[in-house]
Structure 1
Amino acid sequence: MGQDKLGQLALENGVYETRLTRKFEKRRLFERQDPRVIKAVIPGVVAEISARKGQPVRQGEELLTLEAMKMLNRICAPIAGAVKAVRVKAGDKVSKGQVLVELE
């Protein structure tokens, strides 16, 4: 802990001093994702695919269903566009961060 630095955290009701650990200092910074590339946020199995290549989709429209931890998770289009590619098929096991669908 002797290597930790001190930093300040400003909140609505004041400024607080906190310890910045080495783990915090070495963390990977947030990178904005390309909304045209839809990735799995959790590992699971593709239960159903609703989208087809070339199909126009609206923002919020379901692209596929991912089963994870005995729950069905709807994966929806974050933006309107057309389906450029579907990178998985029903029954595929997917890992976190794996590309599922690409939009154009």
Structure 2
Amino acid sequence: MKKEKAESEESLYTGLVIDNIEYQTLITKKYSNRKAYTALNPRLLTAFIPGTMTDVFVVAGQEVKAGECLAILEAMKMLNEIKSPFDTKVKEVNVQKGDRVTKNHVLIELE
């Protein structure tokens, strides 16, 4: 019985490599079930906070310059400007004036 318990405990240990050094450690269930990291796509402009779209200044197919205001998101009584990160063309606008959006909702897609 003790031998079986020891074997099951050993299987819980996982090798973890940090700076070319391998460590044997216990991984929690929360850590093993976490979402894998994905880099942000700069061509998808998302809502960084839940709120209401006050204004949308662009339409699909429109050319925009870097720093140009594309829309305004009202959240917590603040007006947040959604600006173009680079010179591009608008591929799709997924919101309209007055829409309520959640965090990470895709507002505008760029080409």
**Structures share a fold, TM > 0.5?**
yes
For residue 64 of structure 1, give the secondary structure of its aligned residue in structure 2: strand
Cα distance per residue 1:35-73 (max 9 Å; x no partner)? 111111110000001112111111221110000000000
Residue number in structure 2 paired with 1:70: 77
TM-score, normalised via structure 2 length: 0.68
> Identity over the aligned pairs, expressed in percent?
45
Cα distance per residue 1:72-96 (max 9 Å; x no partner)? 0001112221011110000000001
Contact preservation (8 Å) 1:36, 1:79: no
TM-score, normalised via structure 1 length: 0.72
Query: Which is higher, the Rg of structure 1 or of structure 2?
Result: 2
In structure 2, stretches of 5+ residues that fail to align are 1-26
In structure 1, stretches of 5+ residues that fail to align are 1-19
For residue 71 of structure 2, give the secondary structure of its aligned residue in structure 1: strand
* Structure 1 or 2: more helix by fraction: 2
Partner of residue 53 from structure 1, selected from 55, 60, 63: 60
What number of residue pairs does the alignment pair up? 96
Residue number in structure 1 paired with 2:110: 103
* Structure 1 or 2: more strand by fraction: 1
Alpha-carbon distance between aligned partners in 2 of 1:61 and 1:30, rounded to the nearest angstrom: 29
Cα distance per residue 1:2-31 (max 9 Å; x no partner)? xxxxxxxxxxxxxxxxxx976566543432
Q: Does 1:34 align with 2:41?
A: yes
Alpha-carbon distance between aligned partners in 2 of 1:29 and 1:61, rounded to the nearest angstrom: 33
Over aligned residues, Cα RMSD in angstroms? Answer: 2.5
Moved over 3 A (4+): 20-30
Residue number in structure 2 paired with 1:6: none
Alpha-carbon distance between aligned partners in 2 of 1:22 and 1:59, rounded to the nearest angstrom: 43
